Amino acid sequence: MIPNDVEILKEVRSHRYATPYFFTSRKILEHNYKTFSNMFKDVEVYYALKANSDPKILTFLNKIGCGFEAASIFEIDILLNLGVKPNKIIYGTSVKPPKHISLAIKAGVDRFAADSHEELDKIAKHAPSSRVLIRARVNDSGSVFTFSERFGAPIESIKAMVLYAHHLDLKTYGISFHVGSQATQVDRWATAIASIKPIIEQLMDEGITIDAIDIGGGFPVVYNNHKELPHIENITSNINKAFKTLPYQPKIIIEPGRGIVATSTVMVSQVISRTIRNGKIWLVMDGGIYNCLYEAMIHQGTTQYDIRTMVVPKKNTEQLSYALTGPTGDSLDVITRDITLPSAIAEGDKLIFENAGAYTITMANSFNGFPRPELYIN
């Protein structure tokens, strides 16, 4: 992925929008999308809407040919209202309200994920003869945010679920898995493919083949505290090696969210106070945890963003360690307790938070009345 310092920083410094705000580069969005669409010979890319559902980003991704993975009828409605065709949407969450299934199939969305017999029953009842992706639980250790506690059926139950889906007259579209968000192990996707290889072979003995393997997302992005990460080329190489061992080659579906949108966007925030507390310099920003940077706080892991000043500092500028907080009256609204920045930062100065496109604006709320920021795209 193109890093922010190559594409966005110079451009964002030329704009004067009211802070806080997000700024997105179409060029980087397209580059990231093409990176994934060129990973494999037969691949379909479905952007995971949950990472960032801003209509301007979705409209552009739709224009350049990207598909979408949605997790609710609300997300599906967003896409349909933007002109996305139903055949470009996968309803990918494995547990869904019955009404959402009914509304989705009526809208023309006919691909659904499931990870239990109960969910298959629900889909068969509310979306008969639709296509299903059976979601397998795979090893997601080493990922910053893990999914296996909540999602995915045990590997040993996948064959029985596929057979049960056929019994319900559902079309077994494929097998899916997710290795967790911000995966730090280069072989996680390949290992997951190897784990479902025996199921594919056993299903062949039953006369059943699948159209697709959905390898989910999880492709890592560099942050201030996540620097040593596997390269996309090495991940792709490992996946290809595992894929070639299968008895036949279904098409590959990938559902990157963070991998497409994170590096496309920065967040700009203004210092509204500089003070010293317990010997530490604290900068209070108008963009904080609640209205901008949710992942800096959440419980499984934390995302620490690389931060730059709006004004390019001169060489050999003195640097100091700061703590950064948001504007609310809540003690949890702490962005970081240790970031090195130029010593002369003062009230009114602006800071740029890099790689801020994923799980930021889509998670933002108006706690204490501070509004969700605008997103601008160029």
- The pLDDT score that the predictor gives to residue 77 is 98
The CATH label, of 2.40.50.100, 2.40.37.10, 2.40.30.10, 3.20.20.70, for the domain at 263-377 is 2.40.37.10
27 C-beta neighbours (distance < 10 Å), count = 14
Closest CA to 280 of 312, 327, 314, 325: 325
* CA 349 – CA 84 distance, rounded (Å): 40
pLDDT of residue 3: 55
What is the reported pLDDT for 98?
97
Task: Please provide residue 145's backbone torsions phi and psi, each rounded to the nearest 5 degrees.
Answer: -120, 115
User: Which pTM does this prediction carry?
Assistant: 0.93
Domain 53-256 and domain 263-377 have a common topology: no
Residue 290's nearest CA partner among 361, 376, 339 is: 361
CATH 3.90.1150.10 is right for the domain spanning 53-256: no
Q: 272-319 pLDDT, tens per residue? A: 999 999 999 999 999 999 999 999 886 556 788 999 999 988 888 999
DSSP character string of 187-236: THHHHHHHHHHHHHHHHHHTT---SEEE--------BTTB-S---HHHHH
**Which CA distances in Å does 355 have to 3, 50, 144, 340?**
8, 16, 16, 17
Q: How many residues does the chain have?
A: 378
Cβ neighbours for 348, distance < 8 A, ≥ 6 positions apart: 270, 271
Alpha-carbon torsion, ordered 252, 78, 269, 25, to 10 deg: 50
Domain boundaries, the chain: 53-256, 263-377
Q: How far is CA 328 from the centre of its chain?
A: 26
What pLDDT does 146 receive?
Answer: 66
- Sign of the dihedral through C-alpha 332, 338, 343, 349: negative
What are the C-alpha distances in Å from 15 to residues 4, 47, 241, 287?
A: 16, 28, 46, 17
pLDDT in tens, 68-81: 999 999 999 999 99
| CB within 8 Å of 94: residues ≥ 6 apart | 113, 114, 115, 116, 119, 135, 151, 152
pLDDT of 149: 66
Please check whether residue 119 is in contact with residue 94, taking contact to mean a CB–CB distance below 8 angstroms: yes
How far apart (Å, rounded) are the C-alpha atoms in residues 169 and 124?
8
pLDDT along the chain (378 residues), means of 10: 66 91 96 94 94 98 98 98 98 95 98 96 98 88 68 88 96 90 82 95 95 90 79 92 95 95 96 95 97 81 86 90 96 93 96 95 95 96
